[in-house]
Amino acid sequence: MDSEEFEPEVLMDSGVAHRQDNSEVKTGLEEIHRGWFNSGVDLLGATFVVWFGPMARLTVSDPSPDSRGFNMKSDLFEKTEPPPHVKKLEGDGLLTLKGEKWAFHRKIISSTFYLENLKLMIPIMGKSTMKMLEKWMEMSSSSGGMVRIEVSKWFEALIEEIITHTVFGSSYEDGKIIFELQQQMLYAIGSYSKVFFPGYSVHDIVEECKTIFFAGKHTTSALLTWTTILLAMHPHWQQLARDELGMILNESLRLYPPVVAILRQAKVDVELGGYMVPRGTELLLPILAIHHDQALWGYDATEFNPNRFTLGVAHAAKHPMAFMPFGFGSRRCIGQNLAILQAKLAIAMILQRFSFDLAPSYQHAPTVVMLLNPQHGAPIVFRKL
């Protein structure tokens, strides 16, 4: 990847650490929360109905057993059909499949994402990450000072390279073509042509490739970007990260989950939290709002505090189902372990070589365009250790 592609800005170091005061920086999600969701909660409580034209959508934000909203069994609820333009990006793979075909694909693919298998990919992940960091170090050393890097673009390119190497055995340039021309998937087809999956057609393989590319790239790069931003906002956690990296990643996923809501549809008439929900009703679980709910997470729910995960995910909130950055149940993201593994490795390698802060040009403006990302990018000032 060409360093000039993302216009790094060299900042001469006067010998003084230019730390920014980020104490007043909030989550930046106030506008999103202030929208229809909080208005509905304030007026109607944790469970309410919103109409989208002729479609009724029931919002459930209470994870308690009485609400039963998070007990979405596959015989009662199914994933909603995505819009055509979204389906073209995601592919007709695990993200969108339903019923028996989804179960079959999940069974075939799941073993690939077992942790013991993913650990075999660490050398490739490390090599790709090291190549990126060597460019950062060269950019920093050549100036004898600091360097400003727009990390979101670099992280996207890093994950693209890792996916093309680990999943398809291709070079980054080959993989880049796949990402840019995702509809054709020519290289993916060639890569899989030597492998036979019982019950899989060429079309099935192509669609799963699209899913891997889209979900794998955007979920992991978003996690890396938000974690870097949060560590830049709170530099003292950079010193603690070697021991607390898992907690830091969990807190990053809590504050800025890649997917802000889960949408399902009732397959039959079903009772839910004392209400009869007609067949065809959409059910929305607002992950972002649940992750920021003070009733579940305490008074500091909107603050960065990795210590809340000291006793593990199950005890971080007042209800174990309050944390769901990768979904939950049988449709939990199959690539969760891969995303966490890649993020841990990349952040650990960065912290071994750099300290960093937000660039003066950084504008904190989280925005949702399918996934939650920083609207104006993530410029970070790095200093070589």
Given this model, what pLDDT does residue 232 score? 95
pLDDT by position in tens, the chain (length 385): 443 334 444 443 333 334 444 544 556 666 655 554 555 555 556 677 777 777 778 888 777 645 555 556 666 777 776 666 555 555 566 566 667 776 776 776 777 777 788 888 899 899 999 999 999 999 998 877 789 999 999 999 999 888 877 665 555 555 454 455 443 333 433 444 444 455 556 666 666 666 666 667 788 999 999 999 999 999 999 988 877 899 999 999 999 998 888 888 888 898 877 778 888 888 888 899 899 989 999 999 999 999 999 999 999 999 888 999 998 777 778 788 889 999 999 999 999 999 999 999 999 989 887 788 898 999 999 999 8
3-state SS class at 60: strand
Give the integer Cα–Cα distance in Å for 277 and 76.
11
Give the integer Cα–Cα distance in Å for 175 and 216.
13
Given this model, what pLDDT does residue 62 score? 76
Tokens, residue 327: 């979904």
Rounded to 5°, angle at Cα 123 from 117 and 129: 120
Cα maximum dimension of the chain: 68
Given this model, what pLDDT does residue 355 score? 95
Topology (CATH) of 26-81+260-324: 3.30.43
Domain boundaries along the sequence of the chain: 26-81+260-324
Query: Which pTM does this prediction carry?
Result: 0.79
Candidates 343, 350, 359, 355; CA nearest to 149 is 359
CB 175 within 8 A of CB 164: yes
Give the integer Cα–Cα distance in Å for 183 and 109.
21
Write the single-letter amino acid at 377.
G
Residue spans of alpha helices (H) in the chain: 30-33, 36-44, 84-90, 99-110, 115-118, 122-143, 151-168, 172-180, 186-192, 202-233, 236-255, 287-291, 294-297, 336-353
3-state SS class at 282: strand
Given this model, what pLDDT does residue 6 score? 44
Given this model, what pLDDT does residue 50 score? 76
Place of tokens 């790069």: 221
Give the integer Cα–Cα distance in Å for 101 and 329.
17
Place of tokens 């070697």: 242
CB 179 within 8 A of CB 129: no
Give the integer Cα–Cα distance in Å for 261 and 326.
10
Given this model, what pLDDT does residue 10 score? 43
Given this model, what pLDDT does residue 113 score? 75
**233-286: per-residue pLDDT in tens?**
999 999 888 778 999 999 999 999 988 888 888 888 988 777 788 888 888 888
**58-104: per-residue pLDDT in tens?**
888 777 645 555 556 666 777 776 666 555 555 566 566 667 776 77
